[in-house]
Amino acid sequence: MTIYVVKRGDSLWSISRQFGVPVNAIIEANGIADLPFLVVGQALAIPRESTVYTVRPGDSLWSIANQFGTTAARLAEYNGISNPALIYPGMQIRIPSEDKMYGDMEINAYAEQEAGAQAAQDVAEVAPYLTYASPFSYQVNPDGTLNSINDEPIIEAARNNGVAPLMIVTNFRNGNFDTQLAHEILTNENIQQTLIDNIITTMKNKGYYGLNIDFERVDPNDRELYNNFLRKITPQLHSNNFVVSTALAPKTTDVTTGAWHGAHDYKAHGEIVDFVIIMTYEWGWSGGPPMAVAPINEVRKVLDYAVSVIPRDKIMMGAPLYGYDWSLPYTPGGEWARRISPDEAVRLAGSVGAEIQYDEEAQSPHFNYTDSSGVGHEVWFEDARSAEAKNRLAASMGLKGISYWVLGEPFVQNWTVLDNMFNIVKRL
| 344 counts as catalytic | no
User: What is the sign of the dihedral through the CA atoms of 49, 55, 61 and 63?
Assistant: negative
What whole-number distance in Å separates Cα of residue 275 and Cα of residue 164? 15
For residues 317 and 394, the answer to whether their CB atoms sit within 8 Å is: yes
8-state DSSP, 138:
E
Residue closest to 158 by CA, chosen among 197, 188, 130, 187: 130
What whole-number distance in Å separates Cα of residue 101 and Cα of residue 352? 38
Q: List C-alpha distances in Å: 54 to 49, 83, 90, 369.
A: 16, 18, 6, 49
Contacts of 134 (CB under 8 A, 6+ apart): 108, 109, 110, 111, 165, 166, 167, 168, 212
Q: Which amino acid is at 72?
A: A
Residue 248's beta-bridge partner residues? Answer: 278
Q: Which amino acid is at 197?
A: D
8-state DSSP, 37:
S
Contacts of 113 (CB under 8 A, 6+ apart): 119, 135, 136, 137, 149, 150, 151, 154
Catalytic residue among 106, 216, 344, 388: 216
Phi, psi of 387 (to 5 degrees): -65, -45
Q: Give the three-class secondary structure for 172.
A: strand
For residues 49 and 98, the answer to whether their CB atoms sit within 8 Å is: no
8-state DSSP, 311:
-
What whole-number distance in Å separates Cα of residue 139 and Cα of residue 69? 41
Helix, strand, coil shares, percent, the chain, to 5: 35, 20, 40
Active site residues: 216
